[in-house]
Structure 1
Amino acid sequence: MSIDRILHPGLRQRIVSAEAAAALINPGETVAMSGFTGSGYPKAVPQFLARRIEQAHGRGEAFRINLLTGASTAPELDGALAKVDGIAMRMPFQSDPDARRRINAGKLDYLDIHLSHVAQHVWFGFYNEIDTAVVEVSAIHADGTLVPSTSVGNNKTWLDLAKKVIIEVNQWQPAGIDGMHDIYYGTALPPHRKPIPLVRGDERIGQTTLRCDPDKIVAVVLTDAPDRNSPFNPPDADSQRIAGHLIEFLKHEVARGRLPANLLPLQSGVGNIPNAVLAGLASSGFRDLEAFTEVIQDGMLDLLKSGVLRYASCTGFALSPEASEAFMRDLDFYRQRIIMRSQEVSNHPELVRRLGCIGMNGMIEADIYGNVNSTHVMGSSIMNGIGGSGDFARNGFLSIFLSPSTAKNGSISAIVPMVSHVDHTEHDVAVIVTEQGLADLRGLPPRRRARALIDNCVHPDFRAQLQDYFDRASRDSHGKHTPHLLNEALSWHQRWLDTGTMKA
């Protein structure tokens, strides 16, 4: 592997193997690593660290770390460390099946927090001091500044606060990505904050590189490995119907004068349904759209290429192998239309409110009053985490949640009497969409919200059952404002656990 991307003479002298770099991380450390939704994470050091941990455990020695990232990473990081029981505490977001199993078995402590809160919490020391940061970059300039790769995430905070830093320079990352980033160093801690001077999502307010004191960099590792590129499934019939309902609603809002013709900046969660919505926008007739979001996935690249989307601001990528190839092939085109920022900016509540973002995110379930569970299956088992959905749901102009109306081959209803876990309260949820239809909950008191959801979003197999619950709750509950039968409110979940179906 070439050293041509390391132009700082002193840091060239610190090039070591990934194995040697991993040896600099000690048991019990709090380690902050780069990575956001499978992009820009370190590829080599975590795997050698996992080998060290496995060997230590084989000798009967204790060796676990506290792991902080931007968001989810990949099997080479989360998976490798989870498999060897190398993680004591994990935050703020994960999607690895091995880590998930350990979390739900009570063997791994997991802190699921809003992504916009991470940097501030770490600055105030809520999660101990950062002993080591391991950050992937695409190059190091002669002045020692670091060119981020395909995600920024919390890297600015990690580099600022870590006692020692390990840098992976990944030459798989395209050299042309230099200049695509906008790293803002004007944030401050309360009570000395000033407004972030961003009033349009396509503005630049920072610099293109990350700063780090070269004296803190104890090792530089050369790598040549791809990001995790997970394929998206082609939109199925349900996803297409969900997209159709939502696009019809957005057109209605434009016609009513509540949205401009080019909408407002879009935020989209990651997954097949949000990707289907983006695909639907391509043929919807909308033009000159904007995106202020966390992650760019295949659908947004397509919208940029077609001219439907004017620009996209993000903190990372989540691309299929085909889309990743297209991005690298047409990098000169995309670098003029994509801006990558730190997640304390991409998810900042003030900016989300100022720009008036339209948040579109998935959910596990909603209840008849509009409370949404986006993280826990049957109330107790974590799926992935809240991610940035709460940042946009509470602060955006529109908070939209999307889901098929059923799961597990029709045995689970996505609309239930009471959610088994609350991530987004009814106060933060404006619109819920399933393949059955769309419920606009704005301006509706609780009982009218229930009627809108039952009439429009519930699968026919569960509609009569849910209507019966609501009718009896309206008649018999202790209070009539938000009627519930407390002895039945979570009975649907218990029935599924006991019998394998929510159907009565």
Structure 2
Amino acid sequence: MSEDRIRNPRLRGLVVSAEEAAAHIHPGETVAMSGFTGSGYPKVVPLALAERMDRCHAAGEGFQIRLLTGASTAPELDGALARVDGIALRLPFQADPEARQRINAGTLEYIDTHLSHVAQHTWFGFYGEVDTAVVEVSAIREDGSLVPSTSVGNNKTWLDLARKVIIEVNDWHPLEVDGMHDVYYGTALPPHRKPIPLIHPDDRIGETSLRCDPAKVVAVVRTHAADRNSPFNAADATSEQIAAHLMDFLQHEVKLGRLPKNLLPLQSGVGNIPNAVLLGLARSGFRDLTAFTEVIQDGMLDLLRDGVLRSASCTGFALSPDANEEFKRNIDFYRERIVMRTQEISNHPELVRRLGCLCMNGMIEADLYGNVNSTHVMGSRIQNGIGGSGDFARNGYLSIFLSPSTAKNGSISSLVPMVSHVDHTEHDVAIIVTEQGVADLRGLSPKQRARALIARCAHPDYRDALQDYFDRALRESYGKHTPHLLGEALSWHQRWLDTGSMRA
């Protein structure tokens, strides 16, 4: 690593090994680490900490921490610490198989919370004091300020509140990311908050680096390690059908005058269906679009490069290896079109409401009345977490949920009589799309929503059974506003647990 990555003399004097840095973290601490959806997380200190925990456990000594991040990270962080039983409590979002297994086994406590809440709840003191922050950056400036890497997340809050700071300076990231970030320092605690002066999705309202009190820094570690770059699968027929239905819907909304020709700022979750949707936007002739979202993934780079997307605001990246190389090759181009913000701004409910975002997120299941479960399989087993979907769904101009109509080779219906866990209530869900079609739930009563969902989104293998349940509920339920047969409402889930299929 060239020395100019650490341009502050005092902090250059604190350069140590990952093992020496990890020695500053002690059992029982609350440790806040950088990282958002596999980007910008510390690469070597968590591994060194996990090795130390493993040695302590082998010697009969307990060693666990409470872990806070921006969102999901990677095997080098969540996986390594979970594998050695080093995490007592985790929040706010995870996607690691090791951590998930322990959460569902009940040996790792997990708080699933809206991503927009994490920074402010930490400031409010709801999670106690932050003992240590471990933050990856791409460079340290002469004045000691920190140039973020490929995510900003909650790093501002971690650096502001932690008693101790460990910095990983990773030269895998190009120096040219400097200038891409927008760190806003105008937030305050209630009742002294002021309006956030962001009017357009691409406005820059903050600073290009993170402030950090040099006196807090106890260690600096040099690294050269890639983000978790997972390749996306090619869009399958189901994803493409979902995208096509959504494109037809958006074009119809434009025709009716409910959306402008360049739509409204886009928010998109991560995965193959969102990537198919982004590709569909280009094929459908939309132009001059903007994005105000959490994560830039492959499809958005394509839209920026092709001129379909004018600008994109985010807090982190989730790029495949090929897309990451494209980003590095043309970073000067992307730096002018991508703004990376703190998580408390990228997910801020008031901004989402005011900008009028079109919010597109995945789901596990929806029920007849439009309640959506996006986190739990069969009601009690966490998948990943709510992430930022609630921040956007509750506040966007349109809240759109996308899913195949079945899962597990058809043994599970994504449309059920009653969801086994509620993340997004019927009041916050406007549009549901499966490969079968689009159900527009706006302006519909509960019974009208049920009819629309059965007719337009249910898989044919389950449509008659859903209709039968609904018809009997209309006749036999305690009330007729939102008819349910309580003895049967969750029977589909129980049938799957008992037999391996929801089919009767």
Q: Report the counterpart of residue 429 of structure 1 in structure 2.
A: 429
Amino acid at match of 1:89: L
Q: Distance in 2 between matches of 1:444 and 1:335?
A: 43
- Number of the residue aligned with 1:325: 325
Amino acid at match of 1:127: Y
Shift of 1:127: 1.0
How many Å separate the matches in 1 of 2:156 and 2:284? 38
Which residue in 1 is equivalent to 2:66? Answer: 66
Distance 1:329 1:61 in 2: 48
Q: How does 1:301-450 map to 2 (within 5 A)?
A: 301-450=301-450
Say which SS state the counterpart of residue 31 (structure 1) adopts.
Answer: strand
Residue 200 of structure 1: CA displacement? 0.4
Aligned counterpart, 2:452: 452
CA distance in 2, matches of 1:220, 1:282: 44
- 2:280, 2:183 → 1: CA distance? 32
* CA distances 1:184-234 after superposition (whole Å, capped 9, x unpaired): 000011111000000101111001000010000010000000000001110
For 1:313, the aligned partner's letter is S
Q: How does 1:154-165 map to 2 (within 5 A)?
A: 154-165=154-165
1:253 is aligned to: 253
Deviations 1:355-408 (A, max 9, x none): 000000000000000000000000000000000000000000000000000000
Q: What corresponds to 2:152 in structure 1?
A: 152
Deviation track 1:35-83 (CA, whole Å, cap 9, x = no partner) reads 0000000000000000000000000000000000000000000000000
How big is each residue's C-alpha offset from its partner over 1:308-343, in whole Å with a ceiling of 9 and x where there is no partner? 000000000000000001000110110010000000
CA separation in 1, counterparts of 2:188 and 2:282?
Answer: 39
Tell me how far 1:279 sits from its aligned partner: 1.1
SS at match of 1:4: helix
Give the 5 Å matches for 1:125-204.
125-204=125-204
Aligned-pair CA distance for 1:126 = 1.0
Give 1:282 shift: 1.4
2:15 equivalent in structure 1: 15
The alpha-carbon deviation at position 137 of structure 1 amounts to 0.2
Q: Return the letter of the residue paired with 1:328.
A: K
Partner residue of 2:5?
Answer: 5
| Count of residues in Structure 1 that have an aligned counterpart in Structure 2 | 504
Code of the aligned partner of 1:294: E
Question: Take 1:174 and 1:316, find their aligned partners in 2: how far apart are those partners?
Answer: 15
Residue type of the alignment partner of 2:159: L
Give the secondary-structure state (helix, strand or coil) at the position aligned to 2:370.
Answer: coil
Using the alignment, how far apart are the partners of 1:478 and 1:12 within structure 2?
A: 70
Q: Percent identity?
A: 78
AA aligned to 1:453 is L
Q: Which 5+ residue runs of structure 1 have no aligned equivalent?
A: none
SS at match of 2:168: strand
C-alpha distance in structure 2 between counterparts of 1:386 and 1:337, whole Å: 28
Letter of the aligned partner of 1:373 in structure 2? N
Query: For residues 275 and 144 of structure 2, what CA distance do their matches in structure 1 show?
Result: 38
Between the aligned partners of 1:5 and 1:343, the Cα distance in structure 2 is 25
Summarize deviations over 1:127-154 as a string: whole Å, max 9, x none. 1100000000000000111000000000
Q: Distance in 1 between matches of 2:287 and 2:272?
A: 22
Kindly provide the amino acid, as one letter, of the partner of residue 68 in structure 2: L
* Structure 2 match to 1:275: 275
Match of 2:476 in 1: 476
RMSD (Å) for aligned C-alpha atoms: 0.4
Amino acid at match of 1:457: C
The 3-state SS of whatever aligns with 1:454 is helix
Q: How does 1:75-154 map to 2 (within 5 A)?
A: 75-154=75-154
Q: Which string of whole-angstrom CA distances, capped at 9 and with x for unpartnered residues, describes residues 213-272 of structure 1?
A: 000001000000000000111000000000000010000000000000000000000111
- 1:144-199, CA deviations, whole angstroms, 9 ceiling, x for partnerless residues? 11000000000000000000000000000110000000000000111110000001
Match of 2:501 in 1: 501
Deviation for aligned residue 1:3: 2.5
Q: SS in structure 1 opposite 2:317?
A: strand
**Partners in 2 of 1:289 and 1:344 — Cα distance?**
23
Q: Aligned with 2:322: secondary structure?
A: helix
Q: Deviations over 1:408-458 (max 9, x none)?
A: 000000000000000000000000000000000000000000000000000
2:234 counterpart of 1:234? yes
Residue 129 of structure 1 aligns with an amino acid whose one-letter code is E
User: What's the offset of the Cα at 1:4?
Assistant: 2.0
d(CA) in 1 for partners of 2:202 and 2:421? 36
Q: Distance in 1 between matches of 2:3 and 2:376?
A: 45
Residue identity opposite 2:233 in structure 1: N
**1:449-477 CA distances to partner (integer Å, 9 max, x unpaired)?**
00000000000000000000000001110
- Deviation, 1:2, is 3.0
* C-alpha distance in 2 between matches for 1:109 and 1:439: 37
* Aligned 1:291-310 pairs, distance under 5 A: 291-310=291-310
User: Which residue identity lines up with residue 503 of structure 1 in the other structure?
Assistant: R
1:212 alignment partner in structure 2 = 212
What CA distance in whole angstroms lies between the structure 2 residues aligned with 1:388 and 1:425? Answer: 15
Give SS of 1:230's match: coil
- In 1, Cα distance between the equivalents of 2:39 and 2:477? 49
Partner of 1:422: helix, strand, or coil? coil
CA distance in 1, matches of 2:323, 2:202: 22
| 3-state DSSP of counterpart to 1:395 | coil
Letter in 1 for 2:258: R
- 4+ residue stretches of structure 1 with deviation over 6 A? none
